Amino acid sequence: MIIDGLDVHCQYCMCPVEVWKPCLKTYGGDECKLYDDFSNVIWEFEKVAKPFNNQDILNKCHSDFEKEYGDIPSFDDSIMEMIEIHYFEGYMPNNYRHLSICK
């Protein structure tokens, strides 16, 4: 796909084709769109600035877009994998609580 003169993998990741590779072990479908939907959920939590945790993310992902991805063998496993990637790469906002219960 050519966007702005660059050959990119897709409109979601905008990664150059020559360096793109799949990153999810739990899903072989359109992981870039899934990751984009997931990132939108994280952004919504970040804007609210209220503490949130893994269960909050799972619940929001289930309600927002689970039905779009009926081909995912385990929706929760894929979401948890993206949470871990986001967390360990340092992309989670400051109001994220990795291993806590938020009330």
* Residue pLDDT tens, the chain, 103 long: 787 888 989 888 888 989 988 889 999 888 999 999 999 999 999 999 899 999 999 999 999 999 999 899 999 999 999 999 999 999 999 999 987 655 5
What is the sign, positive or negative, of the torsion defined by CA atoms of 100, 92, 86, 75? positive
Is residue 56 one of the residues assigned to a domain? yes
CA-nearest of 98, 86, 88 to 40 is: 86
Tell me the residue type at 83: I
Is residue 70 one of the residues assigned to a domain? yes
Is residue 60 one of the residues assigned to a domain? yes
Structure tokens at 68: 């779009």
Domain count, the chain: 1
CA-nearest of 27, 100, 90 to 61 is: 27
Is residue 67 one of the residues assigned to a domain? yes
Is residue 34 one of the residues assigned to a domain? yes
- For the chain, the maximum distance between any two Cα atoms, rounded to a whole number of angstroms, is 48
Is residue 45 one of the residues assigned to a domain? yes
Domain that holds residue 34: 22-103
> Distance of alpha carbon 2 from its chain centroid, rounded?
24
Is residue 28 one of the residues assigned to a domain? yes
CA-to-CA separations, 65 to 7, 77, 88, in angstroms, rounded: 28, 15, 24
Is residue 5 one of the residues assigned to a domain? no
